[in-house]
Amino acid sequence: MATDDRLGRIIADRYQLDRVIGRGGMGVVYGGQHTWTERPVAVKLLHSAFADDPTLLKRFFREAKLTAKLRHPNVVEILDMGEDEDGSSFIVLELLEGRSLKAILDGVSRLDVGRAFEILYPVMDALAAAHDLGIVHRDVKPDNVFLAQGFRGSEVPKLLDFGVAKALEGTTMMTAAGTTLGTPLYMAP
């Protein structure tokens, strides 16, 4: 794997990037910390190839705004967003330690019904809160459900990645006709 030249860099004069957590189609997520408070954070940086695409920039920041509106204990918290001095667009999120539901499912032949309920009931509550605000997630799948380490070793299910979410009222359509957003295997028919 190539060395990432952003490691060690400070974004927006306050977020130091320490490690790569994940890579996706639209960007890279880094683990790091706030330089003043030393709070651990995750920083999602949009790929520079998308910096000049106003539709993608709008979608990127829309994800942060929609997620920030939720303020639900089972939705990843958005802490900040903006552009760095070099023009890099970023979203800062709470840093979650734990594992995805996909990682759990990959390790078992089947999930006990009680365990499934413990994980999915809070996620359904988060989805209900989103729907109450007119937000439809559109990409609920095991990769986007994370079991974060909570207080005293508890697990806190968190719903992630509102990148293809849709606000039902007050916004214009950002999906072109014939375009599929989300993961087809997990989409409603």
Q: What HEC string does 119-156 produce?
A: HHHHHHHHHHHHHHCCEECCCCCHHHEEEEECHHHCEE
- Closest by CA position to 60, among listed 86, 25, 33, 94: 25
User: Which amino acid would we find at residue 46?
Assistant: L
Q: What is the DSSP letter of 114?
A: H
CA–CA distance, 123 with 141 (Å, rounded to integer): 11
- Residues annotated as catalytic are 139
CA–CA distance, 123 with 77 (Å, rounded to integer): 14
CA–CA distance, 70 with 76 (Å, rounded to integer): 9
CA–CA distance, 64 with 68 (Å, rounded to integer): 6
List, in order, residues 6 or more apart from 182 with CB less than 8 Å away. Answer: 138, 139, 164
